[in-house]
């Protein structure tokens, strides 16, 4: 599906311009030993007036009818881009989470697909997180924003913990 690139968007953001906007949808999350849960999500990506896209994500649990039941999580961050030295596009994602974690992801954009891996995961002493690294993938499929998150705990083995499909609104 074609997307519009705003005339006032810096050239450095063109490779991720397809993500700009407000997105809503649903996904699934699961951890070993716990039942899989359905969640709703809203994501807003907006040009920050400089060289990045601000990122805000809110999630909430859904009941069996698809109605929201309670807040699940939130993330705030900034997406940035730059040259990767080989003619490709490096993508940086800086995230803060209210659970007491800060993550820095590095990766590459190829068309409407972005693959990222953590360069840093830092937690406060009261953080509820227990993972040591993470990988994310974002892509545009049939005009929708799809994403998936894999994390590694102390064992170092990556496992899928969440994914969603969001529609632009």
pLDDT at residue 2, rounded to an integer: 62
Burial 10-46 (b: 16+ CB within 10 A, else e): eeebebbbbbbbebebebebeeeeeeeeebbbebbbe
Alpha-carbon span 12 to 158, nearest angstrom: 31
- The distance from CA 82 to its chain's CA centroid, rounded to whole angstroms, is 18
Task: List the domains of the chain with CATH numbers.
Answer: 11-168 (2.40.128.20)
**Among the ranges given (89-103, 114-128, 145-159), the one the predictor scored with the smallest mean pLDDT:** 145-159
The whole model's pTM is what? 0.92
Is 32 strand, coil or helix? coil
Each residue's pLDDT tens digit, 137-151: 999 999 999 999 999
pLDDT by residue (tens digit) across 3-59? 778 888 898 999 999 999 999 999 999 977 778 999 999 999 999 999 899 999 999
Per-residue pLDDT at 21? 95
User: What are residue 113's DSSP bridge partners?
Assistant: 110, 139
Q: Kindly report each contact of residues 102-109 with a partner whose C-beta sits within 8 Å and lies 24 or more positions away, as own/partner.
A: 103/134, 105/134, 105/136, 107/136, 108/84, 109/15, 109/16, 109/81
């Amino acid at each position: 599906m074609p997307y519009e690139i705003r005339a006032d968007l810096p050239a450095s953001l063109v490779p991720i311009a397809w993500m700009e906007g407000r997105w809503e949808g649903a996904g699934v999350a699961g951890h070993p030993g716990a039942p899989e849960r359905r969640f709703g999500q809203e994501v807003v990506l907006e040009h920050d007036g400089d060289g990045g896209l601000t990122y805000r994500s809110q999630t909430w649990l859904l009941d069996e009818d698809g109605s929201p039941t309670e807040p699940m999580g939130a993330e705030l961050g900034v997406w940035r881009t730059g040259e990767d030295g080989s003619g490709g596009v490096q993508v940086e994602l800086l995230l803060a989470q209210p659970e007491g974690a800060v993550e820095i992801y590095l990766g590459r954009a190829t068309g409407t697909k972005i693959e990222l891996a953590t360069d840093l995961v830092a937690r406060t002493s009261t953080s509820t997180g227990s993972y040591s690294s993470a990988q994310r993938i974002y892509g545009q499929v049939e005009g929708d924003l799809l994403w998936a998150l894999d994390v590694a705990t102390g064992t170092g083995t990556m496992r899928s913990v969440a994914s969603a499909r969001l529609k632009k609104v």
